[in-house]
Amino acid sequence: MAPRGDARIVLATSADGGTTWTEPRPVDDGPLRDDFGGSFDRGHQFMPQMASSAGRLMVLYYDSRLDHTRGVLSSDSGSPTLGATPGLPGATRAAGRARVPGGSEGADLVFTPVIDDALPPLGSFRHTIDVRVAQLDLRPPVDFGAPVFTSARVSQYPFGITGTSGVEDGGDVLTPPATLKQLAFNPPNLPLFAKAPPLRGRLHRHRGTRLRARGVG
* Residue 210: C-alpha distances to residues 121, 160, 215 (Å): 43, 45, 17
Answer yes or no: is 162 within a domain.
yes
Q: What range defines the domain where residue 120 resides? A: 8-216
Of 36, 94, 91, 31, the C-alpha closest to 65 is 31
Please state, in angstroms and rounded to a whole number, the distance separating the CA atoms of residues 136 and 57. Answer: 5
56-77 pLDDT, tens digit per residue, is: 999 999 999 988 888 887 765 5
pLDDT number for residue 133? 96
Judged by DSSP in three states, 82 sits in: coil
Residue 93, domain member (yes or no) = yes
Q: Count the residues in the chain.
A: 217
Report pLDDT for 48.
Answer: 94
**DSSP-derived 3-state class of residue 105:** helix
What residues pair up with 75 in beta bridges, in sequence order? 91
Answer yes or no: is 140 within a domain: yes
Q: Is 3 within a domain? A: no
pLDDT reading at 82 higher than 50 = no
pLDDT tens, position by position, 133-157: 999 999 888 888 888 999 999 998 8
For residue 206, the model assigns a pLDDT of 52
60 contacts: CB under 8 Å, gap ≥ 6:
48, 49, 50, 51, 131, 132, 133, 154
**Assigned domain for 129 exists:** yes
130 within a domain of the structure (yes/no)? yes
Q: Indicate the number of domains in the chain.
A: 1
9-27 average pLDDT score: 90
In a domain, 195, yes or no: yes
Cα 211-33-2 angle, rounded to 5 deg: 45
Query: 1 lies in a domain?
Result: no
Q: Based on the number of CB atoms within 10 Å of its own CB, is 49 exposed (0-12), middle (13-18) or buried (19 or more)?
A: middle
pTM (global) more than 0.95? no
Q: What is the pLDDT of residues 31-44, one digit of tens each?
A: 888 777 778 888 99
Q: Band of the pLDDT at 117, cuts 50, 70, 90?
A: confident
3-state SS class at 156: coil
